[in-house]
Chains A and B, each alone.
Chain A
Amino acid sequence: MTTNPAQPTPQVQPGGTIDPGDLAVAAAQVEEVETGPTWWQVIWSSKKARFGLILLGAYILMAILAPVLAPYAADNLTFNPIEMPSSAHPLGTTTQGADILSQLIWGSRVSLIVGLFGGLFATAVALLIGLVSGYLEGTWVDDVLSFFTNVALVVPVLPLIITLMAYSEVRSIWFTVLIIGIISWAGPARAKRAQIITLRNRDFVTAAKFAGDNTLTIIFREILPQMTSLVAAGFFGAATGAIGAEAGLSFLGLGNTESVSWGTMLYQAQLQGALAQGLWIWLLVPGLVLSGLILALTLINFGIDLISNPLLREDA
């Protein structure tokens, strides 16, 4: 028979026993186990990511506080056109007589909204399709979903957008978000499908099957939390892409013409021949703030890399 671990065998000499109190000490160590740094401590520990977060914070503040910060309304065209920078117009005015600084500040709202929702939308679609098709790899469900993913990957994007935009009745910011979502989910979906294929044969997934969990519970409650850093990195990547795409579409004149964004500023500047008129600031600043925002998001992704790969954390 077995002996109870807490009671020593009878032939043990005095002093040669394990005091149950000591076992409690050994067991109590579980109380104090170091849990490691939290995810935000990890991201914050990276100088690059810290700079990116601060920069992104500045952009968000700028967008929120636009009514306070901007000297005038963005669509106020009542000033003298083509004015050089002055105290009344720190960045000058456009050919149509709008204040460039005000347009720049108000325009941040569009970029951030498009980045946030375009990124979310693309990530959500990519997650749903990527996870389900990866988990069910080799079945007809995967065949169908992979087929659509492949189609979305190879369809030439620009003609598609131009066609969609040209035939659409509405030209709102939400329509832009929708279009960007549609064109950008396929790549991330592929990445997530590949990731889940490596995760779905882990023992804890098999264990969840034995525990009677259904497929969706397993995918979203057991597997998805393992990929949060991948999903987060995917979101920031998609947001970066969406911001760039919005600016690109607007620059081509395919964006939302009613509101001012950095893309429409560039479009107007290009259209009016800003350089020829000596208004290089008009062309330069929207590009500059745009690259600043994209830089911030990219730097944050360096921090997210540290979560999934602890070895990188030790780099100086």
Chain B
Amino acid sequence: MAAPLLEVKNLTVRYSPKLHAPLNAVEDVSFAIAPGEFVGLIGESGSGKSTLANAILRLTERPGKIAAGQILFDGLDITTMSQDALRPYRWRDISTVFQSSMNALNPVTHVEDQFRDAIELHSKLRGDQVVDRIKELFDLVMIDHRFITAYPHELSGGMKQRVNLALALANDPKFVLLDEPTTGLDVVVQRSILENVRRLQREQGFAVLFISHDIGTVLDMSDRILIMYAGRIVEEHDTRDLLRDPLHPYSKGLLGSYADPRAETVRITYVPGRPPDLSREHQGCLFAPRCPEKIERCLTVEPQPLAIAASDGATGAGQATEAIDTGRPRVACHVAHLQREAPDTPGLPAPTKRFLGPEFVKSVDETAAAVTNEVFLEVKDVYKTFRTRRGFRVESNEVITGVSFELRRGMVTALVGQSGSGKSTIARMITGVDRPTSGEIVFHSKGGPLNVGRLGVGQLTRYRKFVQMVFQDPYSSLNPNKTLHYILSRPLKNHRRMSGEALRKEIDNLLERVALTPPGRYRGRYGYELSGGQRQRVVIARALAAEPELIIADEPISSLDVSIRAEILELLHRLVQDSDVGILYITHDLLSARMLADEVIVLNDGRIVERGEALDVIRDPEDEYTRRLLEAIPNPFADMPA
């Protein structure tokens, strides 16, 4: 490797809040980035990736502190440099696109002024020259020049993100740090922005550290990948080699969360358990409690991220080295090292490229049966128009245009579309929150048909016994002040009039159905004490409590960590198998639709553009829009031999 542009040596970032136990969010992290290199950093929530990003930018805030190690930029030690001394380098040599960059533009000044500030501070350009430069930058990110004089609120989310990217490039930086730059954006928009980033990086030759929780997007873009778990870098590997031969079991787990939805049989794995609490004493490998490959040694000795000895065995066999710049992959795993250096060690598991944990498998022949079940919800030629009054004018905006479909008992129908396609509006109308402007929605309950658009307030409460919801974000849909017992008792009391011993038994029964066992351990817990996956199980249990006939699941996995998504899909799948509840599964992700749904309805701009059995739609999409959605699924294995 050439002389590195950015070098991080044994960096430790420690949080010591006044009222909590201290912890090292980043511990002993070392890596280097060469000029013009595109490096991806993957880590799931709580892995310390944003802490690391802030430390590199020297933006660590109290109670965080760089406790040890060094950050060298272009040979210059910036670890302890004062904020004033750093100022000339910021935005000229190092720039960034922030995680929440939807809010990173100042809402009260024109976009032009924000560029002008950044450009005039670091260059000799003034007046019209600056405007010319802004035009150049807008061309780079493909935004019309008329938006130069716009206010940030006049731009769409995707445009704001492009503007942020253009702003980061304003002074031709040597290094750009992208911290989850597309989080919260629509899949299709996300795709186009990332392609833009990659093209610009090739043309302009700046180095990038691209941080994401989503291994799929990082794989498409990066030359080299760092994988972070519990504040440590557990694997560093060239992207292509990582796909061919992942070393760390956690990397295998992350890769296992993806598959080609077009395949006959789709298998996705998940990593059981949850990341460790770093404020506690620990011994051995931090991934060991979740690891299917662990050996005795993993429980006692913490593995260091050492380079794998060259596979041809030319250099001293079995000698792992600590040097960073050998270009050889590094991994912090005893098993991976032993398998390559001392394969005869007793008790060592055989090498594998797949994650050996639990998996969720879906094959072709499963869907056929359900399509003949009885229809229980009919959406008939529904239109929905929102009217907003602007002064004397009334603007109307038609969001749903003539949508008709039906749902069947015991069957999963996926409603697929990008944000703004109208899928949530349809869900709101089916649950009775909104009424259709014209057309009708008829629910055939076991007690007779109900016209959902015309229910009164009291009828609506009774209707909700039949239709329940699973929300997108389990962190906001569980009241943080209530125990699981309270949360689950409400629907049982209100919809099923249960109380006393029967109520308690049913709560235990529900907890068992969603695999939160033993129930006694969970009943008295609060939502914040559970992991994201466990919370989503509680949300599902609450939806089941009313014994509904239909569950509307609105993107139930999109806010969960990639490595545990399959766990929730599997649970939903099992519920449909075990009872005759129907699920309307709302998503933008065709892979999860394939895993769960019998039928797929593709929605674009409030119209149904395609509809059919899940596998038919995914394998043989007829509509251009469906094809675009399919392309937006990150598929690391797309160009790998099967």
Q: Please, how many angstroms separate the alpha-carbon atoms of A3 and B570 in the complex? A: 9
In contact, B289 and A210 (Cβ under 8 angstroms): no
Q: Please, how many angstroms separate the alpha-carbon atoms of A14 and B20 in the complex? A: 41
Q: Is the C-beta of A37 less than 8 angstroms from some C-beta in chain B?
A: yes
In contact, A207 and B521 (Cβ under 8 angstroms): no
Contact with B along A9-47 (1 / 0, CB 8 A): 100111111100011011101111111110001100100
Q: How far is the CB of B333 from chain A (nearest CB, A)?
A: 14
In contact, B479 and A204 (Cβ under 8 angstroms): yes
Contact with A along B538-565 (1 / 0, CB 8 A): 0100110110000000000000000000
Q: Please, how many angstroms separate the alpha-carbon atoms of A314 and B19 in the complex? A: 9
**Across the interface, which residues of A come within 8 angstroms of B534, CB to CB?**
30
**Across the interface, which residues of B come within 8 angstroms of A209, CB to CB?**
464
Q: Is the C-beta of B115 less than 8 angstroms from some C-beta in chain A?
A: no
In contact, A12 and B289 (Cβ under 8 angstroms): no
Q: How far is the CB of B299 from chain A (nearest CB, A)?
A: 10
Task: Give the interface size class of chain A.
Answer: 35 or more
**Known: A16-B349, A210-B469. Contact between A3 and B361, CB under 8 A?**
yes
**Known: A15-B349, A16-B292. Contact between A3 and B273, CB under 8 A?**
no
**Across the interface, which residues of B come within 8 angstroms of A207, CB to CB?**
469, 471, 477-479, 539, 542
**Known: A16-B350, A206-B469. Contact between A211 and B491, CB under 8 A?**
yes
**Known: A210-B468, A314-B63. Contact between A2 and B289, CB under 8 A?**
no
Contact with A along B509-527 (1 / 0, CB 8 A): 0000001000001100110
Q: Please, how many angstroms separate the alpha-carbon atoms of A3 and B272 in the complex? A: 13
How many residues does chain B have at the interface if contact means C-beta atoms less than 8 Å apart? 71
**Known: A210-B491, A313-B19. Contact between A30 and B476, CB under 8 A?**
no
Q: How far is the CB of A27 from chain B (nearest CB, A)?
A: 7
In contact, A9 and B359 (Cβ under 8 angstroms): yes
**Across the interface, which residues of A come within 8 angstroms of B366, CB to CB?**
1
Q: Is the C-beta of B465 less than 8 angstroms from some C-beta in chain A?
A: yes
In contact, A16 and B358 (Cβ under 8 angstroms): no
**Across the interface, which residues of A come within 8 angstroms of B472, CB to CB?**
203
Q: Please, how many angstroms separate the alpha-carbon atoms of A36 and B528 in the complex? A: 11
In contact, A37 and B490 (Cβ under 8 angstroms): no
In contact, A17 and B273 (Cβ under 8 angstroms): no
In contact, B295 and A34 (Cβ under 8 angstroms): no
Q: Please, how many angstroms separate the alpha-carbon atoms of A35 and B539 in the complex? A: 21
Partner of B491, one of A5, A18, A202, A212: A212
Taking CB as reference atom, which chain A residue is nearest B273?
A26
Taking CB as reference atom, which chain B residue is nearest A217?
B490
Q: Please, how many angstroms separate the alpha-carbon atoms of A41 and B347 in the complex? A: 50
Q: Please, how many angstroms separate the alpha-carbon atoms of A214 and B472 in the complex? A: 23
Of residues 36 to 57 in B, which have CB atoms within 8 Å of A's CB atoms? none
Q: Is the C-beta of B145 less than 8 angstroms from some C-beta in chain A?
A: no
Taking CB as reference atom, which chain B residue is nearest A205?
B479
**Across the interface, which residues of A come within 8 angstroms of B431, CB to CB?**
210
Taking CB as reference atom, which chain B residue is nearest A228?
B481
Q: Is the C-beta of A137 less than 8 angstroms from some C-beta in chain B?
A: no
Q: Please, how many angstroms separate the alpha-carbon atoms of A226 and B528 in the complex? A: 14
Taking CB as reference atom, which chain B residue is nearest A33?
B529
**Across the interface, which residues of A come within 8 angstroms of B277, CB to CB?**
29, 32-34
Taking CB as reference atom, which chain A residue is nearest B515?
A5
Taking CB as reference atom, which chain A residue is nearest B460?
A209
In contact, B20 and A37 (Cβ under 8 angstroms): yes
**Across the interface, which residues of A come within 8 angstroms of B490, CB to CB?**
208, 211-213
Taking CB as reference atom, which chain A residue is nearest B493?
A212
Partner of B18, one of A3, A204, A314: A314
Q: Please, how many angstroms separate the alpha-carbon atoms of A103 and B138 in the complex? A: 76
Q: Please, how many angstroms separate the alpha-carbon atoms of A16 and B249 in the complex? A: 11
Q: Please, how many angstroms separate the alpha-carbon atoms of A279 and B478 in the complex? A: 63
Contact with A along B401-425 (1 / 0, CB 8 A): 0000000000000000000000000
Q: Is the C-beta of B340 less than 8 angstroms from some C-beta in chain A?
A: no
Q: Is the C-beta of A67 less than 8 angstroms from some C-beta in chain B?
A: no
**Across the interface, which residues of A come within 8 angstroms of B360, CB to CB?**
2-3
In contact, B494 and A35 (Cβ under 8 angstroms): no
Q: How far is the CB of B292 from chain A (nearest CB, A)?
A: 5
Taking CB as reference atom, which chain B residue is nearest A14?
B349
**Known: A2-B360, A23-B273, A210-B464. Contact between A313 and B18, CB under 8 A?**
yes
Q: Is the C-beta of B357 less than 8 angstroms from some C-beta in chain A?
A: yes
In contact, B18 and A18 (Cβ under 8 angstroms): no
Q: Is the C-beta of A225 less than 8 angstroms from some C-beta in chain B?
A: yes
Taking CB as reference atom, which chain B residue is nearest A203?
B477
Of residues 341 to 360 in B, which have CB atoms within 8 Å of A's CB atoms? 347-350, 352, 356-360
Q: Please, how many angstroms separate the alpha-carbon atoms of A265 and B598 in the complex? A: 82
**Across the interface, which residues of B come within 8 angstroms of A12, CB to CB?**
292, 356
In contact, B476 and A202 (Cβ under 8 angstroms): yes
Q: Please, how many angstroms separate the alpha-carbon atoms of A314 and B274 in the complex? A: 28
Taking CB as reference atom, which chain B residue is nearest A25?
B289
In contact, A16 and B352 (Cβ under 8 angstroms): yes
**Across the interface, which residues of A come within 8 angstroms of B202, CB to CB?**
none
Taking CB as reference atom, which chain B residue is nearest A8?
B356
In contact, A211 and B469 (Cβ under 8 angstroms): no
Q: Is the C-beta of B62 less than 8 angstroms from some C-beta in chain A?
A: yes
**Across the interface, which residues of B come within 8 angstroms of A23, CB to CB?**
272-273
**Across the interface, which residues of B come within 8 angstroms of A22, CB to CB?**
273, 289-290
Partner of A15, one of B17, B293, B481, B573: B293
Q: Is the C-beta of B461 less than 8 angstroms from some C-beta in chain A?
A: yes
Q: Is the C-beta of B473 less than 8 angstroms from some C-beta in chain A?
A: yes
Contact with B along A194-224 (1 / 0, CB 8 A): 0000000011101111111110000000100
In contact, B479 and A222 (Cβ under 8 angstroms): yes
Taking CB as reference atom, which chain A residue is nearest B290?
A26
**Across the interface, which residues of B come within 8 angstroms of A6, CB to CB?**
358
**Across the interface, which residues of B come within 8 angstroms of A41, CB to CB?**
19
Q: Please, how many angstroms separate the alpha-carbon atoms of A204 and B528 in the complex? A: 13
Partner of B272, one of A18, A34, A213: A18
In contact, B19 and A45 (Cβ under 8 angstroms): yes
In contact, B361 and A1 (Cβ under 8 angstroms): yes
In contact, B491 and A3 (Cβ under 8 angstroms): no
In contact, B477 and A212 (Cβ under 8 angstroms): no
**Known: A26-B289, A34-B21, A203-B473. Contact between A211 and B494, CB under 8 A?**
yes
In contact, B521 and A30 (Cβ under 8 angstroms): yes
In contact, A5 and B356 (Cβ under 8 angstroms): no
Q: Is the C-beta of B126 less than 8 angstroms from some C-beta in chain A?
A: no
Q: Please, how many angstroms separate the alpha-carbon atoms of A123 and B484 in the complex? A: 30
Q: Please, how many angstroms separate the alpha-carbon atoms of A206 and B468 in the complex? A: 11
Q: Is the C-beta of B530 less than 8 angstroms from some C-beta in chain A?
A: yes
**Known: A15-B293, A16-B349, A22-B289. Contact between A30 and B273, CB under 8 A?**
no
Which 5 pairs from chain A and chain B are nearest by CB?
A: A26-B273, A212-B494, A203-B477, A5-B358, A15-B349
User: Can you identify 25 A-B contacts, CB atoms within 8 angstroms?
Assistant: A5-B567, A6-B358, A8-B292, A8-B358, A13-B349, A16-B352, A17-B356, A18-B272, A23-B273, A26-B289, A33-B277, A33-B529, A34-B21, A35-B526, A36-B20, A45-B19, A204-B478, A204-B479, A207-B479, A209-B464, A211-B545, A222-B482, A225-B481, A226-B479, A226-B481
Interface residue ranges, A against B (CB under 8 Å):
1-6, 8-9, 12-18, 22-23, 25-27, 29-37, 41-42, 45, 202-204, 206-214, 222, 225-226, 313-314
A29-B274, A207-B469 given; 10 more Cβ-contact pairs under 8 Å: A8-B356, A9-B359, A13-B352, A29-B273, A34-B21, A41-B19, A203-B472, A204-B479, A207-B477, A209-B464
